[in-house]
Amino acid sequence: MTVTQTAETLPDRLAGANSTLLLNSSFAGEENCTELLHPEAAADTNVLWVSFTKSPDQQLRRWREHADGQPAEMGIVSVEDSTRSVAADTGAAGGPSLPETNAPIETVTSPNDLTGLGIRITEFLTEWAENDNQTVVCFDSLTALLQYVELETAYEFLHILTGRLATVDAFAHFHMDPEAHDDQTIEILTGLMDAVVEVDEAGIQNVRTRKL
């Protein structure tokens, strides 16, 4: 990978990438996360959150803290019991949705059910492929995922997922806490990504991208 030193915005620095590893602790990088969801073009963007660590209302609150306006389409795949803190309404399709947005919430009740997780994500990607908007995905987080499955299993799942993202020209960033993993684990997952962004409490330290 090559290191990019200067550019106008973080999305500009990642132009052409479909998958990015966002190396940040739980105390850093929230603003960068929202920036990678293209809030400046919200009206032309489909936003999907895949969340192991935050409830749907927390994800929406983070968006509102750093962005103006609502995306063209929104969706959440919530893993395990993170929907319990949400006072979910019933959407038109009969499933739960986020209050005020009607954004559908799909739940995966077991965090090691990667087949179910992949199906839920693919359903959103397939549905949104029919519109002309840019689809962006926040996967929060790989650190949480690796608490439930072995690295080899996670690698195989992410290999398939990043391929699907590329097929529909979606852009996803995957949160990972570098302090929670050894260098070998990080390097193995880095090999699946088009880019890596390293963030600490002082801000972005560097951006590495493949020659795409």
Of residues 146 and 5, more confidently modeled: 146
d(CA 184, CA 140): 20
Please tell me the total count of domains within the chain.
Answer: 1
Domain enclosing residue 43, as ranges: 2-209
What CATH number did the domain enclosing 42 receive?
Answer: 3.40.50.300
Q: Tokens in use for 67?
A: 């962005």
d(CA 194, CA 94): 37
Q: If you average pLDDT over every residue of the chain, what do you get?
A: 86
| pLDDT tens sequence across 143-161 | 999 999 999 999 999 999 9
pLDDT over 80 at 15, yes or no: yes
pTM: 0.87
Q: How many residues are present in the chain?
A: 212
pLDDT over 80 at 46, yes or no: yes
d(CA 23, CA 199): 6
Average pLDDT, stretch 35-64?
A: 91
Per-residue confidence (pLDDT) for residue 195, from 0 to 100: 97
DSSP 41-56: GGGGEEEEEEESSS-H
d(CA 191, CA 155): 10
Q: What are phi and psi of 2, to 5 degrees?
A: -105, 150
